[in-house]
């Protein structure tokens, strides 16, 4: 594979996965739990970007908004409406949590599109923390809000009685698969996009192919901009859907 | 897999279990267990920071700005509605004044027309009366003239008869001539 090609010294070298290596930002050595790594740097930049847009951008509290403020308001309105539409009025109090997820994923995805950057949302550990976090929070919330009634989510009362146990089994399996698909969908999309970008860029080493390769990189880049937004949207709306199930478990 | 055996060969020189001696990733970096605690630690810190910044500062601020804007827009729309209503009232008043003025003008015109017609009628009646009076007078005068003409004829006839009788050598008996002439003229 890639490293073999490097050993043999053939002209074409692909290391599409190297961009995902987490390494210490200062000096060499092992990556411990508290080591400041390239991941830390890009998470920090995402935080800076979010503060820049949502806090500094809105600092003038203008009735007629500036550009930054209207983007912040747009993001706010977009997610707020989503939460309200999907979960209903009683889901609105969880809006800050959902908005945190949305804006973090959005900024990570877009910052990851900068050359030489690191994409935190391509790491399964990162997305799994969010995916399982949502899963656990929603499950706990469902039981706290509805007690045993939350189990009604798995008992499809509109189906014929004979089918219900089978459906319940399917529902339970699908319920536990949720966090896995939720987190792998995001990580997989971002990782695949960035790996493809690297592969296309690797072809640029061949002079004859390089124009095509650059064209390909450009096209994939445009696609990745779209994917970056859509994945943030999908993650957020699925969170809303899961939250709705927790708040209103009846089918 | 080829990569795994390759990774195993270089394990001694490798910086970590997931990076070979050439600095390339071994397998999927996403699955490298060594980095996961680090990633989770920094992610949690990041999310907590973002959450507090958003929920303490940014989101309440945006909510208040949006509410304020909504309020301003509602007020402005209400004010605009009020102004519109005022304008409509003013227009209605203007139209009413215009209609009144028109009606008044029409009434005045009608009255003037009636007055003129009345005067004209009176003048015509008077003129007719005068004309008929004049006509009657004239008829009377003509009658008189006619009567006087008849008398004159009688007189002339008597005088002429007397003269003829005298000229013929007779003796004119006035009474007889008068009776004869009167009988002839009536005849």
For residue B6, the distance in angstroms to the closest alpha carbon of chain A comes to 8
Residue A43: pLDDT above 70?
Answer: yes
**A65, A79, A97, A121: which is closest to B54 by C-alpha?**
A97
* Total-model pTM: 0.73
What is the arithmetic mean of pLDDT over A112-126?
Answer: 91
Is some CB atom of chain B closer than 8 A to the CB atom of A92?
no
A84 or A204, which is more confident?
Answer: A84
- Facing residue for B35 by CB, picked from A15, A22, A65: A22
Q: Which positions ≥6 away from A63 have C-beta within 8 Å?
A: B65, B68, B69, B72
How does residue A28 score in pLDDT terms, banded at 50, 70 and 90? Answer: confident
Distance CA B59, CA B63 (A): 6
Position B187 scores a pLDDT of: 62
Distance CA A234, CA A103 (A): 12
As a three-state string, the secondary structure of A163-182 is HHHHHHHHHHHHHHHHHHHH
- Length of chain B counted residue by residue: 187
Segments of chain B scoring below 50 in pLDDT: 1-13
Q: Rg of chain B over CA atoms, in angstroms?
A: 69
Position A154 scores a pLDDT of: 87
Enter the tokens of residue A84. Answer: 């309200």
What is the arithmetic mean of pLDDT over A33-56?
Answer: 92
Q: B6 and A100: CB-CB below 8 Å?
A: no
Residue A4: pLDDT above 60?
Answer: no
- Length of chain A counted residue by residue: 251
Position B8 scores a pLDDT of: 44
Distances (CA, A) of A183 to A14, A48, A122, B94, B120: 27, 24, 10, 71, 106
Position B151 scores a pLDDT of: 83
Q: Which of A13, A37, A42, A54 has the most B C-beta neighbours within 10 Å, making it the best mutation to test the interface with B? A: A54
Q: Which of B14, B59, B70, B72 has the most A C-beta neighbours within 10 Å, making it the best mutation to test the interface with A? A: B59
Q: Percentage of residues in chain A with pLDDT exceeding 90? A: 61
Enter the tokens of residue A123. Answer: 């790491």
Chain A residues closer than 8 Å to B72 by CB: 63
Is some CB atom of chain B closer than 8 A to the CB atom of A55?
yes
pLDDT tens-digit readout, A139-177: 999 999 988 888 888 888 888 888 889 999 999 999 999
Q: Which residue has the tokens 């945190």?
A: A100
What angle (nearest 5°) sits at the alpha carbon of residue A109, between those of residues A105 and A115?
155
Helix axes B36-53, A95-111, angle to 10 degrees: 120
Position A6 scores a pLDDT of: 44
Reported ipTM exceeds the 0.90 cut: no
Residue A19: pLDDT above 50?
Answer: yes
What is the arithmetic mean of pLDDT over A171-189?
Answer: 94
- Facing residue for B69 by CB, picked from A51, A63, A125: A63
Position B115 scores a pLDDT of: 95
Is some CB atom of chain A closer than 8 A to the CB atom of B6?
yes
**A90, A95, A140, A105: which is closest to A234 by C-alpha?**
A105
Residue A223: pLDDT above 50?
Answer: yes
How does residue A105 score in pLDDT terms, banded at 50, 70 and 90? Answer: very high
């Amino acid at each position: 594979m890639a490293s073999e090609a490097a050993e043999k010294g053939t002209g074409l070298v692909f290391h599409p996965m190297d961009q995902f290596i987490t390494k210490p930002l200062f000096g060499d050595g092992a990556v411990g739990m508290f080591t400041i790594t390239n991941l830390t740097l890009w998470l920090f930049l995402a935080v800076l970007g979010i503060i820049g847009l949502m806090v500094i951008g809105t600092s003038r509290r203008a009735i007629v908004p500036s550009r930054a403020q209207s983007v912040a308001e747009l993001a706010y309105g977009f997610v707020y409406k989503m939460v309200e539409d999907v979960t209903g009025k009683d889901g609105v109090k969880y809006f800050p949590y959902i908005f945190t997820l949305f804006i973090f994923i959005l900024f990570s995805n877009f910052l990851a599109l900068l050359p030489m950057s690191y994409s935190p949302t391509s790491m399964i550990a990162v997305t799994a923390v969010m995916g399982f976090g949502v899963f656990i929070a929603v499950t706990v919330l469902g039981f706290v809000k509805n007690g045993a009634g939350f189990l009604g989510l798995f008992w499809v009362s509109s189906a014929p009685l004979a089918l219900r146990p089978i459906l319940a089994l399917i529902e339970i399996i699908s319920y536990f698969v949720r966090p896995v698909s939720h987190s792998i969908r995001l990580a997989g999309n971002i990782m695949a996009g960035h790996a493809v970008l690297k592969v296309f860029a690797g072809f640029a080493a061949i002079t004859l192919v390089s124009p095509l390769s650059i064209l390909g990189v450009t096209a994939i880049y445009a696609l990745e901009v779209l994917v970056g937004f859509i994945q943030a949207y999908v993650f957020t709306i699925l969170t809303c859907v899961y939250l709705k199930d927790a708040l209103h478990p009846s089918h | 897999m080829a990569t795994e055996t390759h990774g195993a060969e270089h394990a001694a020189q490798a910086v970590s279990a997931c990076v070979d001696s050439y600095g390339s990733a071994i397998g999927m970096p996403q699955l490298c267990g060594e980095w996961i605690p680090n990633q989770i630690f920094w992610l949690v810190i990041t999310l907590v920071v973002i959450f507090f910044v958003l929920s303490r500062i940014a989101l309440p601020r945006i909510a208040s700005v949006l509410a304020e804007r909504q309020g301003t827009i509602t007020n402005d729309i209400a004010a605009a509605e009020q102004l519109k209503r005022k304008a409509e009232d003013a227009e209605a008043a203007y139209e009413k004044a215009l209609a009144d003025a028109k009606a008044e003008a029409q009434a005045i015109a009608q009255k003037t027309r009636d007055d003129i017609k009345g005067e004209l009628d009176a003048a015509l009646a008077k003129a007719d009366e005068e004309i008929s009076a004049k006509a009657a007078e004239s008829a009377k005068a003509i009658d008189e003239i006619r009567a006087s003409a008849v008398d004159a004829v009688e007189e002339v006839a008597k005088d002429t008869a007397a003269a003829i009788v005298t000229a013929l050598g007779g003796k004119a008996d006035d009474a007889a001539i008068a009776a004869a002439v009167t009988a002839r003229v009536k005849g």
